[in-house]
Every structure is written in structure tokens, then in C-alpha cells.
Amino acid sequence: MSSDMFGLGLDRSNTHKTLLSCIAVTKRFKSGKGSVLAVDGISFAVRNGEVIALVGESGSGKTTLAKIMAALIPPTSGDVYFESLPLSSMSRLDLMRFRKRVQFIPQFPDLALDPTWYLYDSIAEPLRIHGMVNSRAQELEIVRNNSSRFGLSIDQLRRKPRDLSGGEVQRAVIARALAINPDLVIADEPTSMLDPSTQAKIMRQLLDAHSERGFALLLVTHDLDLAKAVSERICVMLKGKIVEEGSTDEIFSNPMHPYTRSLMRGEIIMKEDDWQAACPYYGQCSDRLDRCTSSYPPELKICKERFVRCWRVA
């Protein structure tokens, strides 16, 4: 997909202030007798009004990181800062304000809506919780505007999730996230349940809303073409780490990490292997060096806002 396809006219020279940042965020899940290190010491920032994509293959830790950033699960260590305030020290009231300003669109929308509620009430609920409407008429207008934008009719709003398709539920979850006018939308594979032509249509609506309202969008996706078409910056994740970060133009014109290049070639990459190397890509890497087995490369700054973690580049 090209950015023209979405008619975005992105201003990639924009500089924005940091809205939300992760500092050394790690998440370890208990799993059976062992544990899984899903996110491994990640630091990066989302700025006001930008579209940034978090890409990586399945299991690289994208959803886990996105949920930590949305304060849905706590990190094992490290912290997330929203406008400089750490999530770990937020009061209930701070957290409530945070939830009004940061919305999460989940990868699996069927788990996100109360199955006993009509769609209308699920979409209206955040407006009520945050005291954003003064009357039923105002509520109806906001719910209708946001729902119709994503192709949901009044008839569909009168149904419960079991009487809707997976794609309709996904659109309802997007409409609900946008209804309260957040400053940041964290969208985790937001169109995964839709067929390709509907995907493009819904993505275009999401981006139109971004252009009109100016919210920042963190798009989690394994689809590099989509990331290229819509984002200003890209972070590439591999096994819980960000291995490359930079402007979309630079990442695509000059991908530096061998893993990024493999992703671009559409290769299926990671498999469990016996390598005990410091770099998780060692087993598959055609550019590997002896050094890659003993120490993980530090974050190498190539130029302003361009980072890569690879001994070969170093």
C-alpha cells in the first residue's frame, strides 16, 4: 500500500513533543515451570500527533509492549511515562485521566466488549464514565458519528456482540476508542479480522480521524507495507527488543539490521534453535560475527533518531 492510497499527505518533517515514553521496560511472564521474557529492556517514545509503527514477526513482544504502554498490564521492571508522569506512581485519579487520553484497540476485539451489552452501550460507556456528555441526545450524536464512520448502522448498534460478525465487532472497538477523543490511540493489529478491501477502508477512516483530530497513533502490525504507507517512524522488534528504529523513509531506503531486511523480503524468520548467542538473530543471520555470540550490541546511534543494534553495523 502506498501513503497516497490513504490520501494522507503526511508531514514527515514535523517535530513533536514526547507524549508517552518507555524507559527500560521489561516483561517476564511465568510459564509452566519457567518464564518467558516477552519484552527486554525497551526504551522508546511516542510523540504528540505522530503515526509510529511497531513491527516485528509473531511472538516478538509487540502486544505485550503495547499493553504495558496502555497501562493494561504492569511491566516487570522499568516504567512508562505519560507527559513525564510515571505510570507506577499515578493515583487512581491520574490513571482515570490517563485512560481518557490513551485508548487501546485490542488485537482480539471479541474479548473487549461485554457480551451482554448492546453495542451502543459499549461505545457510549467511556463517554459516560469520563463525564463527557450532558444529554442523551449528545451521547447519541457522538456514538452515531463515530460508528457510522466505521460503517456501523443504527441497526447494528442495537445488537449484542454475538449477533455481529468479527469484523463488525472490530469496527465497534475502533469506534469506541475514538469516541472519547483521545490524545493517543494504541492500535494492536486493528484490522486483523477484516478482509483486505475492508481493511484498507477502515484504516483510511482511522487515518482520516488522526488527520482531523491530531491524536498520536501507535500502530502495532506485522504488515510492513502498511507500516510504510502510514507511519512517520518505525520501530522493529525482535524477541522482546527493538533492534532498529528510524524514520520510515530511512528504514525502507536503508534497512541496516539483517532482521529488518529479512522482514522486508517477507521471509519467515525466527525458529527455536540451540544457539546461546547474545544476539537472538544469530542463528539466522548471514552477516554474523564471532562477537555476536558473546555480547549483545549496544544501541548504535546512526544519526538523529536513527538507531540500530547490530555488531556488523558497529
Ligand X SMILES: Nc1ncnc2c1ncn2[C@@H]1O[C@H](COP(=O)(O)OP(=O)(O)OP(=O)(O)O)[C@@H](O)[C@H]1O
Which positions lie near ligand X, rule CB under 6 A?
29, 31, 36, 38, 56, 58-64, 107, 222
With CA atoms as reference, report the closest residue to 105 among 203, 240, 26, 14: 203
Q: Which of 16, 65, 7, 4 is nearest to 214 (CA)?
A: 16
CB 304, min distance to ligand X, A = 28
For residues 49 and 240, which CB has a smaller minimum distance to ligand X in the complex? 240
Cα–Cα distance, 281 to 278 (Å, whole number) = 9
Q: What, of Mg ion, ligand X, none, does residue 91 touch, CB below 5 to 8 Å by kind?
A: none
Which option in ligand X, Mg ion, none does residue 64 bind, with CB closer than 5 to 8 A by kind? ligand X
Bridge-based pairing of strands 51-55 and 233-238 is: parallel
C-beta of 56 vs 190, nearer to ligand X: 56
Q: How far apart are CB 29 and ligand X at their closest, in Å?
A: 3
Residues of this chain that bind Mg ion (CB under 5 A):
63, 107
Binder of residue 201, out of ligand X, Mg ion, none (CB less than 5 to 8 A by kind): none
Q: Which residue is nearest to Mg ion (CB)?
A: 63
- Minimal distance in Å, beta carbon 196 to ligand X? 18
Out of ligand X, Mg ion, none, which partner does residue 231 contact, by CB within 5 to 8 A per kind? Answer: none
CB neighbour list of residue 16: distance below 8 Å, 6 or more residues apart: 47, 48, 49, 50, 216
44, β-bridge pairs: 22
Residue 75 Cβ, how far from ligand X at the closest point, in Å?
13
Give the nearest distance from C-beta 83 to ligand X in angstroms: 25
Question: Largest Cα–Cα distance of the chain, in whole Å?
Answer: 67
134 binds, among Mg ion, ligand X, none (CB under 5 to 8 A by kind): none
What is d(CA 101, CA 56) in angstroms, rounded to the nearest whole number?
A: 26
Closer Cβ to Mg ion, 63 or 122, answer by number: 63
Nearest to 251 by CA among 242, 241, 261: 261
Chosen from Mg ion, ligand X, none, partner binding at 100 (C-beta under 5 to 8 Å by type): none
Nearest Cα to Cα of residue 205 among 11, 48, 6, 9 = 6
Strand partners, 23: 79
| Partner interacting with residue 222 (select from Mg ion, ligand X, none; CB below 5-8 Å by kind) | ligand X
Q: Which residue, 35 or 153, is less far from ligand X as judged by CB?
A: 35
Kindly state the smallest distance separating residue 57's Cβ from Mg ion, in Å: 10
Of 54 and 152, CB closest to Mg ion: 54
CB of 40 to ligand X, least distance (A): 11
User: CA-CA distances (angstroms) from residue 136 to 32, 124, 143, 159, 172?
Assistant: 49, 10, 10, 19, 19
